[in-house]
A and B are shown apart, each in its own frame.
Chain A
């Protein structure tokens, strides 16, 4: 914690800007109508998912494709706790997060030892299984018909929901920042950058990977629980692959592997979608195309770009972006150039 405060003090401009954004977002509902507030509120759901996924994939190098599934698990577990066990809604949400964490621990135990692509497919298979199981067991979950759940607040007013989501998002962001600047953060990045070296350096890779995985899935579950009780209707389609694709899109656009990237990306994607008033399909086409453009042309995304800009403005030559540093190890013909 001390390290975090120290680093905040050392970068006054950054901290100031961050604080300004937080205040801005906190005051935002005052300038929006109810519908718009709800739109941004939903954006925070994606922020939470994005931050939790970025923690895992961006900072630890574990490219999971099940983030949305853990959110769905959070939703349904919370619903079960509230409807079947009679817990109050906040209690249900906690149960949702815990369930996601426990299942995350289990999945991590099984898949974290798998190499990149196998890990990805393993998490993907898990997510699909969740969707199928929820859909097929319609006598419990009401399957595709949807499961109505109680709301978090008695009032239909979106403002309290907005602030709950906002608070949780900022907490997630804060958690992310703290984690990054602590030993856990260093260990994570060590694991991501060179796992063998990390092992050789004495890092307990297995344990830390699991820790991050559980934190990540717990956050996702928390987000899912909130989401369910804000929307009022659950569906197995929450675990469709297109939802995971949206998380990836939001994070990559905002800046994969940056602190504010998921926030910027998710809110932007959500905001843009509403502002443009285009169909669901067009949104996906535009976002997917943007992602491809970003990854192809400028991998660091918006936040990465701003960081580079900031470095340039400060008069320092910009460091190579941490994402996708080109390694000059290509045969001349392979660099897409003239053979």
Chain B
């Protein structure tokens, strides 16, 4: 559904963090991107959402180039982005946060209300506390709100940046459980994660990124079987075939 072709992205002149990334998020599947810190995984997502222009290469949505699309146009086309850092509005209530999440539906009040109730259905705790301010929420609830906010406008693809960072394991596992359900609702997921174990567990396809490029791509199952080898590779570079099979 979403494809990156030979993307080169950087923040400063002459320094590219990503030096030619090509990958694809297949529709209806969960695709994970793993790799060492600083490899540019988050930068890639920001570029895909339109927060950062690529210096070279294309981003394609269902075959169409969306390179010059603004973030709101991508959101309107169904690309949602869940950043690593808080994307909620601290001094607004849950209700107001979700309302703004549905900004693109603002002209159709009925539809907006319908979507908000749908999202409340997914997160009953948020429904209970809908008049509470975001600052009054616990860490886990805040994370839930972040996800909920991005789901109000019907997404077809969700870009997730480091879902489990800074969260208690219980909350993190709830979040992964949610991510697993998304394809069933017609939402493709492209996930960037430091947490290799969970990422390869839930993903159909995994990309390993290092030094600005795709080092390897295999199915999630393959990565689960070859985890040790992969980690060694990430830390030391490719290991030559061992005489011991």
A and B touch in the complex (CB under 8 A): yes
Binding site for B on A (CB under 8 A): 320, 325, 327-333, 338-339
15 further interface pairs, Cβ-Cβ under 8 Å (given A327-B12, A332-B71): A327-B11, A328-B11, A328-B12, A328-B55, A329-B52, A331-B50, A331-B51, A331-B52, A331-B70, A332-B53, A332-B68, A332-B69, A332-B70, A333-B72, A339-B72
| Contacting pair A329 B71 (CB below 8 A) | no
B101: interface (CB < 8 Å): no
Whether A328 lies near B53 (C-beta < 8 A) is yes
**Pair B68/A338 contact, Cβ less than 8 Å:** yes
Give the residues in chain B near A338, CB-CB below 8 Å. Answer: 68
Cβ–Cβ < 8 Å partners of B51 in chain A:
329, 331
Interface centre among A327, A330, A332, A333 (most CB of B within 10 A): A332
User: What's the least CB distance linking B19 to chain A, in Å?
Assistant: 15
Residues of chain B within 8 A (CB-CB) of A328 are 10-13, 52-53, 55
Q: Is the CB of A332 within 8 A of B13?
A: no
A325 partner residues in chain B, CB cutoff 8 A: 12-13
A266 vs B11: C-alpha distance when bound (angstroms): 35
Residue of B nearest to A319 (CB): B13
Hey, which chain A residues are within 8 Å of B71, CB to CB?
A: 331-333
Q: Is B73 an interface residue (CB 8 A)?
A: yes
Give 15 CB contacts A-B under 8 Å: A320-B13, A325-B12, A327-B11, A327-B12, A328-B55, A329-B11, A329-B52, A331-B50, A331-B51, A331-B70, A332-B69, A332-B70, A333-B70, A333-B71, A339-B73
A211 to B169, CA, bound (A): 50
State the CA gap A329–B51 with chains docked (Å): 7
Size bracket, chain B contacts? 10 to 19
Binding site for A on B (CB under 8 A): 10-13, 50-53, 55, 68-73
Query: Interface majority SS on B: helix, strand, loop or mixed?
Result: loop
Q: Which of A329, A330, A338 has the most CB atoms of chain B within a 10 A radius of its CB? A: A329
Q: Across the two chains, which residue of chain B brings its CB closest to A328?
A: B11
Nearest-CB residue, chain A, relative to B13: A320
Closest CB pairs A-B (n = 3): A333-B70, A339-B70, A331-B51
Give CA–CA (A325, B10) in the complex, Å. Answer: 14
By a CB distance below 8 angstroms, the chain A residues around B70 are 331-333, 339
User: Closest B-chain residue to A320, C-beta based?
Assistant: B13
CA distance A327 to B51 in the complex (A): 12
CB neighbours (8 Å) of A339 from chain B are 70, 72-73
For B50, the chain A residues whose CB sits under 8 A away are 331-333
Best-surrounded residue of B10, B52, B55 (most CB of chain A within 10 A): B52
Q: How far is the CA of A325 from the CA of B55 in the complex (A)?
A: 16
B11: chain A residues at CB < 8 Å are: 327-329
A320 to B15, CA, bound (A): 13
Instruction: Write out the residue numbers on chain B whose beta carbons fall within 8 Å of the beta carbon of A331.
Output: 50-52, 70-71
In the assembled complex, the Cα of A111 lies from the Cα of B240 at a distance in Å of: 60
Q: Which residues of B contact A327 (CB under 8 A)?
A: 11-12
Give bound CA distance, A333 to B75, whole Å.
13
In whole Å, how far is A299's beta carbon from the nearest beta carbon of chain B? Answer: 15
- Chain A residue, CB-CB nearest to B73: A339
* Residue of chain B at shortest CB distance from A337: B68
A330–B51 alpha-carbon span in the complex (Å): 6
CA A328 – CA B11 in complex, angstroms?
A: 5
Chain A residues whose C-beta falls within 8 Å of the C-beta of B69 in the assembled complex:
332
A239 vs B11: C-alpha distance when bound (angstroms): 42
Provide the residues of chain B in CB contact with A320, threshold 8 Å.
Answer: 13
- Please measure, in the bound complex, the distance between the C-alpha atom of A333 and the C-alpha atom of B51, giving whole angstroms: 9
B12 to chain A: which residues have CB within 8 Å? 325, 327-328
Q: How far is the CA of A335 from the CA of B147 in the complex (A)?
A: 28
Assembly CA distance A329 to B68 (angstroms) = 15
Measured between alpha carbons, how far is A303 from B8 in the docked complex, in Å?
34
> Closest approach, in angstroms, between the C-beta of A279 and any C-beta of chain B?
44
- A285: shortest Cβ distance to chain B, in Å? 35
